[in-house]
Structure 1
Amino acid sequence: MTFLYPVYLWLLLGVPLVMGLLLFAAWRSREALTAYLGGKLLQDALEILVLKNFISAVLFTMALALLVVSLGGPQWGSRSVEEERRGLELVFLVDVSNSMLVEDVLPSRLARTREVARSVASRFPEASKGIVVFKGGSSVLVPLTGDPAAFDLAISYLSPSLVTSPGTDLNEALPAAADLFPGGTPRHRVILLFSDGGHDLGVSRQVLEDLRDRGTPVFTVLTGTPAGGTIPATDGGVLRDGHGDPVIVGVNSRRMEEIASVTGGKAYSISETTIVNRLVQDLEHLSGEGVSVLFRQVSVDRYHLFVLAALGLLVVMILVQSFRWRDLL
C-alpha cells in the first residue's frame, strides 16, 4: 500500500487522544448521573449506559481513524489506462564521469556527446528539451525548455566538474530525468542516455520497469569503443593505477542494451557514422505526425473503501445509541 498524501497520516497520533477524551466524558457522565439520581438509578440501567457509551466511543474512534487514512490517499494494485500522445519531449541524460574524457572516440567521448546531442536537438526545434548530468549523483542542468539558446549554452558547459560525487549511479539519475517531464502533457517522452556504461553503472530492474510503465523509453547511446582508452590527467599525462600502469577504460554495451530493452527504447553507438540520422529517424517515427495511443500502468485509488467503512461504523454507533438495550435484560 502506498499513500498520495502521507503527511495526513500524522493525524493518527491524535486518535488515541480522542478515544481518551470520549471515555473520560463517558465516565464523567456516569458519575454525574449517579450523583443526581442517587439510588433511584437501577444498577443494570447504569451498566447499560456505561456499555453503550464505551462501544460508541470505540466505534467513533475507529471511524475517525479510517477517515484519516482515507485523507492520506491510500493506493494499491494497478490498472492500465489509455493515453494519447503527440509531439515530443526530450531529456538528455549525460554521463560526466572522468571516463567520458577518454579519446577512443575523437575528439573525446564527452566532446562527441556534445556534438551528437546538439545535432539531434537541432532537428526537433518544436520539442521541449532538458539536460540532466550525472556521476555518483545527478543534477538538473536545464529543465524542459523550448529555448534552443539555453539548451546550446548548457551543452557547451558539459564537464566532469559539474558533479563532484565520484562513480556512476543511474538509480538516482534516471528517476531525476523522468521527473523533468510534466504530468498530464500529451507528448511523447524520451530519455536520451549518453554513457560508456561504466563498470559501476548499476541500475535496479525496478527503476527500469517503472520507466516502462510510465511510457518513458530510454534511448541509450554508448559513448566509447570496445578497445577503450586512457583517461587524460591534469599534468598532461594519463591516469595511472597504484602500480603505475595506465588505467584503460572500456565500455559496457550489454548494460546499455539492457536499459534500452527493458524500458522500450533503442540502443546505439556513438562511433557509428550515421548515429545522428538513426536517432532522428527513430524519434520522428516515435512522435509521428498523428496521435499515438499508449497504455501505462497507474496505481488504483482505494480511499473510498475507507470512507465507506467509516460511514458504516458511524451508522452502527447511531444504532447502538438508539437501541433499547433493556429489552435484552
Structure 2
Amino acid sequence: MELDERNYLYFLFILPVVVVLFLINLYWKRKKQREFGDLELLQRLSPERSVFKPVLKLIVMLLALAALIMGLVNPKIGTKVETVKREGIDIVFAMDVSKSMLCEDVAPSRLEKSKQIVSQIINQLGSDRIGIVAYAGSAFPVLPITTDYSVAKMFMQNMGPGLVSSQGTSLDEAIKLSGTYFDDKSKTSKLLILISDGEDHSEGAEAAAEEAKKMGIKIITIGLGTERGGTIPLKRNGIVESYQRDNSGEVVITKLNEAGLTTIAKITGGGYVNGNNTKAVLEYVKNTLDKIQKTEFEATEMADFQSQFQWFLGIAFVLLYMDIFFLERKTRWVKKLNLFNENK
C-alpha cells in the first residue's frame, strides 16, 4: 500500500516535543547551577558564555527539522497546462454491492474480491476512459466517465451495501444506467464490465442486454462466488453478529449463477469469465481490449506538477551546516552591540 506523502506532516509534532525537552534541560541546568553556587558568580567565572546562543541553536535546529519534514511531504506546484490527446475506449464497471456480495465463499469476500479485480484491471489500462456504477436492487452512479484512475480507485474502495438502499440484485438496472454513461454520437468503442454473483432478483436482464447491443455496447461479465455457495455474515466493527435470514427465518445461502451472466454477455458479443481466478480475468480482459478498436478522444487539458522537495532539503542542510559553527560563547561583534544586555 502506497504511503500518502501528506502523512509526513504528523512529524511536525516533533517540534514542540523538542522545545519542551530544551526547556526541561534548561531548567535542570539552572537547578544544578544553584546547587553548585551563586549564579552571578558563575557568570563571572564564564564571561564568554552566551545566553542567547543556545536559543539560536534551538531555533536553527527547529527550522532545519521543519524543512526536512516538508521535504518528505514533497509539495508540488503546477508549472504548466498542456493539451494531451488520448486514444482508447470507454469502459464502465458495474459492480454488484448487494448483501450477497458479503459472502466469504471467495476470500476475503465477493465484494472485496471484485474491488481487487477492478483495481488490477485499471492498473493495466493505458489511455482508456472509465466510469463506475454500483447496483443492488437499483443502480447508482458512482463516478462518471473519467481518465483519472486514482480517483476511480478511491471512490471504489468506499463502495458497499449501504450505498444502495434497495437490496436484491437488479442486473437490468445496472445495464440501463451504464448505457447512459456512453455518448451515443461518439464513435468510441464501448465496453461494460459487469461484476456480480449472478443472483438476479429482477426481470428483463436479457432485454436490457439486447438494448445495450443496439447501442454498440459489448458486455463482459465476471462471476464471483461458488456453486456450493455460502452464508452472508452481518458484521459490526469486523465481528460477525449474525447471518442474513429470509422472511421465514432461515439462514440465506447465496450461490454463484454463471448461466445468467453467460447469457447476458453472449447477447452483446462479449464473454463470461469466472472471477475466482484473478489472473485468468486479467488475461481475458487484456485479450478483449487488444481486439477492440481504439479511437482518439477529444483533447484533454492536464496540469503538470513538479516536486519541490529539493528546495526544502537544501534549506535543511544549510541550516544544519550553520548550526555546526554556532558555539555557545559570545560573538565578539554582537558582544559590542550588547543587544541582549549580556554585558554588565
- Alpha-carbon distance in 2 for matches of 1:202, 1:271: 26
- Alpha-carbon distance in 2 for matches of 1:137, 1:98: 13
- Alpha-carbon distance in 1 for matches of 2:136, 2:205: 16
Q: 1:246 to 1:204 in 2, by over 3 A?
A: closer
| Structure 1, 161-170 or 267-276: larger mean CA deviation | 267-276
Given the alignment, which residue of 248, 255, 259 partners 2:253? 248
Deviation at 1:201? 4.6
Preserved CA contact (<8 Å) 1:169 1:201 = yes
Amino acid aligned to 1:248: I
- Alpha-carbon distance in 1 for matches of 2:151, 2:100: 26
Aligned to 1:270: 275
- Report matched runs for 1:41-190 at 5 Å: 87-190=88-191
| Structure 1, 178-187 or 118-127: larger mean CA deviation | 178-187
Per-residue Cα deviation, 1:163-182 (whole angstroms, up to 9, x for no partner): 00122222222111011012
Preserved CA contact (<8 Å) 1:119 1:276 = no
- Alpha-carbon distance in 2 for matches of 1:268, 1:201: 22
- Alpha-carbon distance in 2 for matches of 1:220, 1:136: 18
TM-score between the two structures when normalised by the length of structure 2: 0.56
Deviation at 1:124? 0.8
- Alpha-carbon distance in 2 for matches of 1:248, 1:270: 19
Deviation at 1:156? 0.5
Q: 1:267 to 1:144 in 2, by over 3 A?
A: same
Q: 1:259 to 1:228 in 2, by over 3 A?
A: same
Preserved CA contact (<8 Å) 2:273 2:281 = no
Deviation at 1:204? 4.3
Q: 1:139 to 1:242 in 2, by over 3 A?
A: closer
Deviation at 1:203? 2.6
**Gaps in structure 2 of 5+ consecutive residues:** 1-86, 297-344
Query: How many residues of Structure 1 are paired with residues of Structure 2 in the alignment?
Result: 206
Deviation at 1:272? 2.1
Q: 1:165 to 1:128 in 2, by over 3 A?
A: same
**How high is the sequence identity, in percent, across the aligned residues?**
30
Deviation at 1:273? 4.5
- Alpha-carbon distance in 2 for matches of 1:119, 1:203: 31
Q: 1:100 to 1:274 in 2, by over 3 A?
A: same
Per-residue Cα deviation, 1:108-135 (whole angstroms, up to 9, x for no partner): 0000000000000111131100000111
Q: 1:194 to 1:273 in 2, by over 3 A?
A: closer
Per-residue Cα deviation, 1:226-264 (whole angstroms, up to 9, x for no partner): 111110113523223456543211111100000001111
- Alpha-carbon distance in 2 for matches of 1:122, 1:199: 29
- Alpha-carbon distance in 2 for matches of 1:187, 1:248: 41
Given the alignment, which residue of 257, 264, 269 partners 2:262? 257
Deviation at 1:225? 1.0
Preserved CA contact (<8 Å) 2:92 2:181 = yes
TM-score between the two structures when normalised by the length of structure 1: 0.59
Amino acid aligned to 1:115: Q
Name the SS for the 2:137 alignment partner: coil
Amino acid aligned to 2:195: F
> What is the RMSD computed on CA atoms of the aligned residues?
2.0
Per-residue Cα deviation, 1:71-112 (whole angstroms, up to 9, x for no partner): xxxxxxxxxxxxxxx721110001110000000110000000
Per-residue Cα deviation, 1:161-207 (whole angstroms, up to 9, x for no partner): 11001222222221110110123323211000001111415334332
- Alpha-carbon distance in 2 for matches of 1:210, 1:101: 30
